[in-house]
Amino acid sequence: MPRFSAADGIELHYLEESPAGGGTGAPPLVMLPGWSMSAGAFRAQLGHFGQSRRCIALDPRSHGASTDTTSGNDYATLAGDVAALVAHLGLGRIALMAWSFGSVAAWEFVARQGTEALSSLIIIDEPPAPMLGGPEDWTSIKPADVAAFQRDGLVSDAAKRALFEGIARHYYPDDPAEAEWFASLADGCPHWAALLYNADGMFADCRAAARAADAALPTLTFIGDYAAERALPYMARELPGTQTAVLPGHSMHITHPGAFNARLESFLADAEERAGQAASSQA
């Protein structure tokens, strides 16, 4: 299993798919999973985009096959771990894609490394301030739901497993094998680490970094259809330079990989064509 050491010595695991012969020279695609989930959540993207570019999906610390640790279970540290991964693999400028609370780490990366470190930014169904804002804003968590979620779903590994089994049955009501696979993606994150990451993500405020990316980078935000009524006006008002795509559910890259990959492929091709044109005009 490919591994590397973070700045504090913690060993982290990642998955990688790359085309034979090195590909087209397109920027590498680095992917960050959502809360509690492992890099395997991007199996459909690794298989598809790994045919044309270098693709890496990271297991955050205390997730998947990465080392369990009591230190650094937060999204600012994860942003630093992404920078260490980029340096370890010599990736240069990357296209960074993050799902759900993993998006907090992506925005932290922008805040710490600057937009110059990225060729593009892709966010999967997460607002920049998950629990902050007024009734007109796009938020993903209601304060009234927080206590029950923490109390009932994160008191033990068994309770956390039951939580994800319920989510998996919702996505795959007629496919027990796929439901078990989905639930197993969260098994590598112990409940105590999930609690820390969840608290950090809930209270994040990444609006400044999101605005910086919106102004300087090709950006794309996938929005779950359940949130579109509030999310689309919010994006048009607050992040007008960001492209949006609405697809079913919160895990559309897993449950609807064909539509997701097609939209992402179009976005990346357009972003890279524009970057090539800009480079040619400056030559």
Contact criterion met (CB below 8 Å) for 251 and 259: no
What pLDDT, on a 0 to 100 scale, did the predictor assign at position 281? Answer: 66
Q: Is residue 12 one of the residues assigned to a domain?
A: yes
Q: Is residue 174 one of the residues assigned to a domain?
A: no
Distance CA 1, CA 246 (A): 35
Q: Is residue 217 one of the residues assigned to a domain?
A: yes
**Segment 100-149, tens digit of pLDDT:** 999 999 999 999 999 999 999 999 999 999 998 888 899 987 777 777 77
Residue 196 has pLDDT above 90, yes or no: yes
What pLDDT, on a 0 to 100 scale, did the predictor assign at position 280? Answer: 63
Q: Is residue 69 one of the residues assigned to a domain?
A: yes
What pLDDT, on a 0 to 100 scale, did the predictor assign at position 153? Answer: 80
More confidently predicted of 1 and 231: 231
Q: Is residue 237 one of the residues assigned to a domain?
A: yes
Contact criterion met (CB below 8 Å) for 196 and 73: yes
Q: Which domain holds residue 62?
A: 3-139+204-282
Number of domains forming the structure of the chain: 1
**Segment 203-250, tens digit of pLDDT:** 999 999 999 999 999 999 999 999 999 999 999 999 999 999 999 999
Contact criterion met (CB below 8 Å) for 135 and 161: no
Tokens of 13: 């695991």
Q: Is residue 190 one of the residues assigned to a domain?
A: no
Q: Is residue 214 one of the residues assigned to a domain?
A: yes
Q: Is residue 195 one of the residues assigned to a domain?
A: no
Residue 151 has pLDDT above 90, yes or no: no
CATH number at residue 31: 3.40.50.1820
What pLDDT, on a 0 to 100 scale, did the predictor assign at position 9? Answer: 96
pLDDT band at 279 (very low <50, low <70, confident <90, very high): low
The upper half-sphere exposure of residue 19, i.e. CA atoms within 13 Å in the direction of its Cβ, equals 14
